[in-house]
Amino acid sequence: MKTAYPPLLLLAMAPFAKAALTNYWPLNETSGTSAASTVVGGTPAELFTGADWVNDPIRGQVLAFDGVDGHATAGTLPELAPESSFTWSFWANSSQTPNNNIILGNRYPDEGWIKFTTAAFEYRDISASFNDGVDYPDFPVDTWFHHAVVKNGHLLTYYRNGVAVGNNWTDGTVPVNTPLYFGGNINDENWAGRLDDVATWSNALSSTAIAGIYGNKYTPATAPATETIPALANLLTDSFTSGGVDPEKWEVTIRGLENNAEAGYEQPAITDGAVVLGGTTNSQYWFGSSLESVTAFDSRVYSEVSVNRVSLSGSGTAYRSSVWIFGDAGHYLHFSQNVGEGGWSYNARDDGGNGTLNPTGGGNNLEGLDPLDGDTESHVIKFRVLPTGLSNGVNIEIQVDGVVQAVHGFTNFPTSFKVILTGQGRATGDTVSAVFDDVTVAQPAVSNKPPVFSATSLRLPTATVSTAYTANISAEVTDEDGDAFTFSKVSGPAWVTVAPNGVIGGSPDASVSTARVLVRATDARGGESTATVFFRVNNPAAAAPPLFGWWPLNETSGNFGADISGGGNMANITNAATGGLGENGSVWVSDPQAGRVISFNGNDGPDAGWAVAGTPPTSGNLPVMDLSRSFTWSFWAKPAQAANNDIILGNRYNSSGADFAPAQFTKFTGSAFEWYRDGTGQNIDYDDPAQDVWAHHVVVKDGDALFYYRDGQLIDGRLVTNVLNESMPIYFGGGANGGEAWSGYLQDVRLFNGALSDSNVTKVFNDRGVYAAVNPTFTSSSYYLPSAKAGSALNFSVAPLASDPQNDALTFSKVTGPDWLSVSANGTVTGAPDNSNPSSQVVIQVRDTSGNTASSTFTFRVEDPSAGTPTAFGSWPLNDGSGSTARDTSGNGLDATISNADTGGLSDTGSVWLNDSERGTVLSFEGTDATGAQATVGTPPDSGTLPVMDLTNNFTWAFWAKPDQTANNDIILGNRYNEAGVDFAPTQFIKFTSSAFEWYVNGTQQGINYPDIETGVWAHHTVVKQGNALFYYRNGVPSGQTTITIFPDQAMPLYFGGGANGVENWRGALSNVQLFEGALSEAAVAALATPPGGGTGSLVITSVSMAANRAITLSWNGEQGKTYQVFASKSTAGFQVIGESTTGTFTFQPGNATFNTAIEPRLFFRVAEKTTP
C-alpha cells in the first residue's frame, strides 16, 4: 500500500459564504433577569420565573430552567425561505427524558415554527401542512452536549459534539417575526435543564467551525465566519485515457456493499475515455466489481475527492453505481445511485464509533436528489473529508453537481482512507454497467500531520475526593512529523487542570463520580487533535445506591433463588433437579469454600440448567441502558469450563429467544463484558478467569463509562456510545431456552440502581456471605413534631431517631417536603417556615453504606404568630351537679340543654351528674339511643350553631372525655344530622367519636383517624382547624393531621354525648368542653390538657425540647420552694414517677429501663406538686 505525501503544488484558495453572527448569549451572568447578547445590535434575552442563574461544576455560570414555567424571550427570527441559510449553536444539559419541549425556538404560531427539543429539531412550514426537521438520537439526561443545526439552503444538518449526526432536505418557510424562546414557549412545552453559550448566525457555518466551537478552539464570537479552503495538491488524478486500468493507481477488486467475493462480473474496461464496471452477477446480495485506489490518503487533513459518474445502466431487480470513502471494512461512507431500490442514498459504518447508519441495503435516502432518481446520465460526485480535530473524528460532505446533499460524521474513522469505484447488482441475474471518469483526490500542498493520541478515550487511575490528584498523559501522544506538542484542557470538571506537559491534576470534589476531561494536543505548527481522558472519582463517604436485586443463591433445594432486596424478582430456575453440577445433577451444591451455591451444567438446549430474574417481559427486566443511566452488576463465579462467550450473567436474546430489533445485549462471559448493539460491540475484554477458582466480578456503569473490577480491584474501563434502548431480561448461567449455557458455580449476585464507588465495590467484595439485606431503621414510621412558627428558624436533628443494626454510617436526605426545609446528610433539619401552608410534612430517608434505606414521615404545624389569642365560642365546665342545664361560662349565653338528665346518666341514681375521683363533678351519658342523655348547645337553628367551616376560617374544639364503651362512631361532641334529626342537603357533619374526628361532606370523608380512645381513662382531646388543615392533639401532644379540600356549607348544631333526637348516643363522661373561634397555639393546647391533681394551683408544661442524644428537658410554671414530681407513660394511662425537681425544669436522660428516650417513638409526661403523705 502506498501512502500519499502531497507535493508542493499550490492551487487557488476558494472562500465559502460568510456567516454573520447575529446574536451570542454567553449566559454567564450571576444575577438579574436579562442575559446580554455580546453582538452589537443584538437582542438581550429576558428571563421569567423559573429561569435562574446557577453555577455548574462543569461549565461554570449557566442558565437553568425548571420545566414548569421557566423561559426566556430572545427577540424574533427573520423570515426563513426554502433557500435561506442559518446556524444555531448551544450547549445543553437536559434534566428531562426525550419529549417535544422547547430548548431553543418556538411552538406558536401554528403557521410556522422552529425548535430544538430533546428528541428532534422541528421545522414547521408556513402552510401548517407538515413538520420537517432532523430526527436525531435522543438527548441523554444529565450530561452536557454541544448541539448545532446548520441550514445550508434546503439542507438541514445537525451536529452533536462537533460531529454531523443527521440531515434532512426541507422546502419549508417560517414567517417573519417568529419569536425565539429559551426553555419553553412562555408557559407551553417548558423544558427542564441547563443552557449555555447560545448563538445564531445568518448563514451556514462550516463544519470545521462547528467542530472548533465544540472543541473549545473557538467561541461563537471567534469562530471563522468564512471557510477558506487551503491550497491543495492533486495526489491522484485519472481520466482513464490509457488502454487499461493503471495498476499504479488502482487495484481491481470484487468488493460489494454486502459481500466481497467473486460473483461472475466482467473485468473492468476502459472505453471511450472512461472506466466501465459491471456485468451480470451470479450471486446475491450486492456483490461488486470495483477499483480501489492503491494510495491510502491521510484522513487527518482536509481532503477533496471528485468523480464524474458518467452513466449507469442495467437490468433486473436493482443495480447501482457507487463511490466510497473507505477506511476499512468497518469504517466507510458508501454513496450510490440505486435503480430499483431507492434512488440516490448513502450507507455509513463506524465500528467502535457512533457514525454507523444503515451500513447495508438501501441506506439513507437523499431527498434533495429525488428528482434525479431516474437520471442515470453524467453527474459530478464530490466528497469533502473534514477532520473534526477530535481523534479519529471526521465529517464527510457529499456533493452532487456542486450542491451539498448531506454531511455525515464518524467518531472512530481510521487515519487513512482509499477511494473505491463500484458497479454492483442486487441479486442473481441482475446486470449493471457503471461508468466513471475524471477522478481527482486533493489534499493540502504543505501538509502538517497533527499529533495523534493513542486512543480516542484514555482511562486514568482513580482519584479520591479531597486528595490531591496527578496523572501524566504525555506518553499517549505521538507526532509523525516529530514536532513538539503541548496539552490544554478543552472541557471538564472545574477542579481538573491540564498542564502544557500533559500532567492532569487538581483536588477532586464530589460533584462527579467519573471525571471526563476533553484534552487537546497542539503541535508547533498548529496541528491539533483531542481525546477524552476519564477516571473514577472515589468518594469514601458515598452511600451505595439502592439495590435492583440481590440473589444469595444459597438455597439447598427448589426451583428458585430468593431475591432478598425487596424487589420481588426471584430467580426462576429451569432444570433445577438435573441442570447443575451437584448430586444427581442438582443445581444446588455445597462448595468447600463458599458453602451453598448454585451451579450450571453448560449443556446448550433443553437439558441446560439456567435461571432468569422474575418473569420477563412482565417483571425482572433491567432498566433501559441509555447513556445517562448508572447501574452496577456484582457476583461471585467459579468457572468449570474454558473461557468463551457463554452467558454467566446477562442476556443474548429477548425472553422469547429472539433478537431484539435492532439486536442488542449485555452479558458477562468468561472473556469479556459484552456491550453490543446493531453490529457494534463496545466490550471490556479481560483476562480469562481461572477455572475452578472463585473470583468476584463487578461492572459499574457510570453514565457512558464502564468499569470492570475483579476481586475488588479496578482492572479496566472504557466509554461507550451504544444506547441499549430495550428493557432486557437477566439470565444466570445461560440465555433464553438454554442458549449459550455456561458451566460453573455462581453466588451472591447483586445489582444496583446506580454506580458503586470504588469504596463500595471493596465493601461488597469484603461482604461476601453477608446476605441479610438489613435496613437501617427509624424508631417509628411517622412522627408528629412540635409546631413551628412562621418566619422563625427551625432546627432539629432526626439522627437520634435512626439506627443501623450493622453499625453502618448513616446519611439522611429529604425525599419530599416544603421547599423552605432542608435536610443535611447528618440529619439536621433546618429552614424558616412561611405562611403558605399551615401543615408541613417531610419524608426523610436514611441510607447506610450498603445502600439499604428506610424512611419516616415527620409532620408539624406551622403557626401564624400574628394570629393572636382566639375568642371563646363557648365554655362548658360541666360541673353544675344538678338540673338539665349545663352552663356556658364564656359569656356568650350558649347554655346546653340536657335531655333525660335524671335517668340517662351513669350515676347510681341514673342522673347525668357524676362525682369523678379525678375530675370532680362531670357530665355522664348512659349511651342508649333515645333514652340515654344528650345535650344540645343553644336552641338550634336560632342559636348555638357552629360557624360555617370553609377552607379559610380557624376554629378549635377541646374537651376532656372518659369513654365507658369500646370505640365506635357514637357522638362524643358534634353532630350527625340537623336539629330535626334528618340529613342536611347535601349530607354533611362534623363529630368526635372514640375512633376518629369525622369531617364529612356529600359522600367524602376527610377527617382524622386517630388511635382508639382508651376506655376508662380520662384524656384531653383537641382539634385545631387552621385554614385547610386539621390538627389533632391528645393530652396536648400532636397525634394526627390532615388537609381538607371540601367543607360543609351549613351552620351545624352542636351536641354533647349524642345527636338530635337521641341518635348515636355515646357512653362515657365529659368535662370542660371549650370551643374557640380561632386556632389555638400548640402551647395553649398543652395548657388546656394539663391534668388536675398533685397540689394546689394549675401547672402548665411550658416547653419540651430534645437534645441530640435524645435527652428530654421539660419546663413548667413552678413556684420556688416547692417540690414537683415528674411522671412518664407510653400512653395516656399508667403514669409512673421518673424524678423530682424544685426548679421548674427536669432533664430526662436516655437509657431508662422502662421509658428509654433513645428508642421510644413517643412518651407522655405529667408534672404535679409533691404532697406530704
- Is it true that 245-345+356-444 and 777-860 share their CATH fold? no
547-767 CATH, one of 3.30.360.10, 2.60.120.200, 1.10.10.60, 3.40.50.720: 2.60.120.200
Tell me what pLDDT residue 1108 has: 62
Tell me what pLDDT residue 123 has: 84
462-482 average pLDDT score: 95
Tell me what pLDDT residue 438 has: 97
pLDDT at 1173 over 80: no
Q: Mind giving me the DSSP string for 969-1029?
A: S--SEE-SS-TTSS--SS-EEEEE-SSEEEEEETTEE--EEPPPPPTT--EEEEEEEETTE
pLDDT at 384 over 50: yes
pLDDT digits (tens, 9 = 90+) for 68-80: 999 999 998 887 8
965-975 average pLDDT score: 96
Tell which CATH architecture fits domain 777-860. Answer: Sandwich (2.60)
Residue 724 three-state SS: strand
User: Of 398, 768, 399, 700, nearest to 537 (Cα)?
Assistant: 700
Question: Under CATH, which number does the domain 21-215 receive?
Answer: 2.60.120.200
Q: Which residue do the cell numbers 395553649 mark?
A: 1084
The superfamily (CATH) of domain 452-538 is Immunoglobulins (2.60.40.10)
| E strand segments, 664-732 | 664-668, 672-677, 680-681, 684-685, 695-702, 705-710, 713-719, 731-732
Tell me what pLDDT residue 771 has: 58
1119-1140 average pLDDT score: 78
pLDDT-based confidence at residue 11 (cuts at 50, 70, 90): very low
872-1089 CATH, one of 3.40.390.10, 3.40.30.10, 2.60.120.200, 2.40.30.10: 2.60.120.200
Cα gap 705→536, rounded to integer Å: 9
User: Is CATH 3.30.565.10 the classification given to domain 245-345+356-444?
Assistant: no
pLDDT digits (tens, 9 = 90+) for 688-745: 999 999 999 999 999 999 999 999 999 999 999 888 999 999 999 999 888 999 999 9
The three cell numbers of residue 321 are: 453505481
pTM higher than 0.75, yes or no? no
Cα gap 220→225, rounded to integer Å: 10
In degrees rounded to 5, what are phi and psi of residue 192? -110, 125
pLDDT at 7 over 50: no
In this structure, are strands 1067-1076 and 1055-1056 parallel, antiparallel, or unpaired? unpaired
pLDDT at 23 over 80: yes
Q: Mind giving me the DSSP string for 20-44?
A: -EEEEE----SSSSEE---STT--P
Q: Which sequence spans correspond to the domains of the chain? A: 21-215, 245-345+356-444, 452-538, 547-767, 777-860, 872-1089, 1101-1169
